[in-house]
């Protein structure tokens, strides 16, 4: 099978931001820009997923979400992809393993918000993710306590990087994770869908 893979040079550091992006919003773009700066990333790839296994309701059509993401952020270091669909990997653990095999000389960092950290232990093979790729957690200052109490944070507390070491996260072998407080945009995909401003119906032919 031939994949339409994004390009990354050997030795580059690529942040992976996964999700259904249903819809993508400025909060996603803000997290991406902050991650590029704070973790010294060469690129960030958005992994627009076919669907979220933890959600009963299916997302809007893939093409719609990809186009919306591409129109939201225009940055030379950001690539919008449907890699999970191409790779046939509905679960993050599978995606990470596929990418490490396809890009053996690229350093990957998984990006996530503190809200996802609270339920991270519910993800399929979540410990496989932690053991295979460094994790950068980005959140508001007020979410710090909840993140510390999460199953992942408690299980891997000895592998957390702090202070100046945070910026070198990508150079650490997994397991390794770091937490960064940033002023986040107060938006969520759930709230946007509830407002009725996101049309999830495919266009009529």
User: Count H helices, E strands: the chain?
Assistant: 9, 7
Instruction: Write down the pLDDT at residue 173.
Output: 94
Residue 169 pLDDT grade (very low, low, confident, very high; cuts 50, 70, 90)? very high
Radius of gyration of the chain (CA): 16
- Residue 190 makes CB contacts below 8 A (sequence gap 6+) with none
d(CA 192, CA 80): 20
> C-alpha distances in angstroms, 7 versus 14, 18, 193?
10, 18, 33
For the chain, what is the mean pLDDT?
Answer: 85
56: pLDDT strictly greater than 70: no
- Tens-digit pLDDT profile for residues 109-160: 999 988 888 889 999 999 999 999 999 998 765 556 667 789 999 999 999 9
Distance from the Cα of residue 174 to its chain's centroid: 17
Q: Work out the angle at residue 154's Cα, subtended by the Cα atoms of residues 52 and 56, and round it to the nearest 5 degrees.
A: 15
pTM of the model: 0.85
Bigger pLDDT: 42 or 50?
42
pLDDT reading at 1 higher than 70 = no
Domains of the chain, CATH where assigned = 13-195 (3.40.50.620)
pLDDT confidence of residue 23: 85
* Rounded distance between C-alpha atoms, residue 154 and residue 45, angstroms: 28
Pairing between β-strand 177-181 and β-strand 135-139 as defined by DSSP bridges: parallel
Query: Got the DSSP string for 122-163?
Result: GSTTHHHHHHHS-EEEEE-GGGHHHHHTSHHHHHTGGGEE-G
Is residue 90 within 8 A of residue 108, CB to CB? The reply is no
Q: Say if residue 64's pLDDT is above 60.
A: yes
In the numeric block, the tokens 């059509």 are attached to 61
């Amino acid at each position: 099978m031939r994949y339409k893979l994004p390009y990354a040079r050997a030795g580059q550091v690529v942040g992976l931001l996964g999700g259904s992006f249903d819809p993508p919003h400025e909060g996603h773009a803000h997290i991406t820009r902050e991650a590029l700066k704070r973790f010294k990333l060469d690129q960030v790839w958005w992994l627009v997923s076919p669907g979220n296994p933890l959600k009963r309701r299916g997302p809007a059509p893939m093409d719609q979400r990809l186009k919306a993401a591409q129109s939201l952020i225009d940055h030379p270091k950001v690539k919008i992809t449907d890699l999970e669909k191409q790779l046939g990997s509905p679960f993050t653990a599978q995606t990470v393993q596929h990418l490490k095999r396809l890009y053996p000389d690229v350093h990957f960092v998984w990006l996530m918000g503190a809200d996802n950290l609270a339920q991270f232990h519910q993800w399929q093979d979540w410990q496989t993710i932690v053991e295979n790729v460094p994790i950068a957690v980005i959140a508001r200052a007020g979410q710090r306590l909840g993140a510390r109490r999460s199953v992942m944070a408690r299980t891997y507390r000895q592998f957390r990087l702090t202070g100046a070491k945070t910026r070198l996260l990508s150079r650490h072998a997994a397991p390794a994770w770091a937490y960064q407080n940033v002023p986040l945009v107060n938006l969520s995909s759930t709230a946007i869908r509830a407002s009725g401003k996101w049309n999830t119906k495919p266009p009529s032919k």
